[in-house]
Amino acid sequence: MKEHTAIPVGGNILSYILTFVQTNEIFQVVSFGLSIVTSLIIIGYKIWSWYREAKKDGKITKEEVKNLADDISDDVKELNDKVKGDKKNG
């Protein structure tokens, strides 16, 4: 059930990268805040999509909940690795 949508994830990563390369501190704070909001929207959309798919059969199983937790954990890990990689390269 893992969805890979390049546009939201790519946009999110781009916003984080742009935040770290900006020179003006106030814009960094605003941009970083917007990046966090974007991340929360992406996670919310993923949960909503999962819920809609899981409720199709009328019940949510433990396995479906585990799949959601694994998907979100993988996404957070992937984003964390990319942010760490950008800090090392920048």
Asked if residue 22 is part of any domain, the answer here is yes
- Full residue range of the structural domain in which residue 26 is found: 6-89
**Number of domains forming the structure of the chain:** 1
As a three-state string, the secondary structure of the chain is CCCCCHHHHHHHHHHHHHHHHCCCHHHHHHHHHHHHHHHHHHHHHHHHHHHHHHHHHCCCCHHHHHHHHHHHHHHHHHHHHHHHHHHHHC
Taking the whole predicted model, whether its pTM rises above 0.85 is answered as no
Q: From the CB of residue 58, how many other CB atoms can be counted at a distance below 10 Å? A: 6
**Residue 1: inside a domain, yes or no?**
no
Question: pLDDT tens for residues 10-60?
Answer: 778 888 887 777 667 777 777 878 888 887 888 888 888 888 888 888 888
Evaluate whether residue 37 is within a structural domain: yes
In a domain, 59, yes or no: yes
Is 56 inside a domain boundary? yes
